[in-house]
Structure formats: C-alpha cells, structure tokens
Structure 1
Amino acid sequence: MQSDAPVEAGETYDVTIEDIAREGDGIARVSGFVIFVPNTQVGDEVTIKVNKVMRKFAFGELA
C-alpha cells in the first residue's frame, strides 16, 4: 500500500531543522510532513536521505 507521504525512502531532500523531538532528534518538514533526523540542531540547513516512511512521519539521516 502506497502512502500519501510527499517523501520517498531512498530519496534525498534539502531541509531546515525546525524543532527537536523529545528523543532529541531534529524535526524537519517537507510539505508539512514530519521527518525525524538524528544528530541535528534547530536551524541546521541540511541534506537528508529518507530511510523509512511511515503513515504520519518519516525517518532520515544526514546525507
């Protein structure tokens, strides 16, 4: 089943880290869709690679 997420696993995106999750991961958004990115800080402008896409959010890493 294909999700309606605006991102795809394996793709890279240029994002700005907007917030920090309780677990300490950075939070970026692509078209409002949340992506958790570890080892980032608020304000970081980074290129990320999406690893896993869930229904409401995704996980990425620094590319």
Structure 2
Amino acid sequence: MPFERRGFGRRFGGNLPKPVKVGEEYDVEITETGSKGDGIARIKNFVVFVPGSKKGDKKHIKIKEVRNKFAVGEIIESSETPVEGE
C-alpha cells in the first residue's frame, strides 16, 4: 500500500478554501516587508501582500487577488462601515 503525502508540509493547498476572498475588506497590521518592498500582513495565518505599506503600519485593505499561497490587498483610504478583520 503506497504512502500518500497529500498536503504534507502545506497549510493552504490548491483545492482547500482560502481564508480570504476577492473583494473582502480587513483591518490588518503590517508585520514584515517582502523582498520586493511590499508590506506583508497575515489573515488567519494566510500571507497578504500590501503594496505601499511598511512594517508597523495599520491599514484597512481590500483583497484584489487570491492565489494558492498568498493574496494581494489594496489599501483603502476611507471606510464607512467597520469590518471584521484578522
């Protein structure tokens, strides 16, 4: 009987539901800076790149793109309704 390594070492795989969706808004804290200079936040341990931010920033973002292992968020300048975050 062969041993299967399904999902071994991965938290978010190809077919698993992601904790964020395109269009959702979150309040996040930028905790790291990526190699290309983008800020990095985490939502339920899922990496979200936030261009135009830096470590220590607290931003309100909107998810623009979701990939298998990360998402990309856009900074929202103003918000009329509070949003559940992180």
Structure 2: stretches of 5+ with no match in the other structure: 1-13, 77-86
More strand by share: 1
The match for 2:45 is 32
Read off the aligned partner of 2:46 and give its amino acid letter: F
* Pairs aligned (count): 63
TM-score by length of 1: 0.93
TM-score by length of 2: 0.69
Structure 1: stretches of 5+ with no match in the other structure: none
Q: Is 1:59–2:72 an aligned residue pair?
A: yes
Deviation of the 1:2 alpha carbon: 6.2
The match for 2:54 is 41
RMSD: 1.4
The match for 1:8 is 21
**For 1:6-56, what per-residue CA distance to the aligned partner results, in whole angstroms no more than 9, with x for missing partners?**
011011001000000000000000000000000101011110000000011
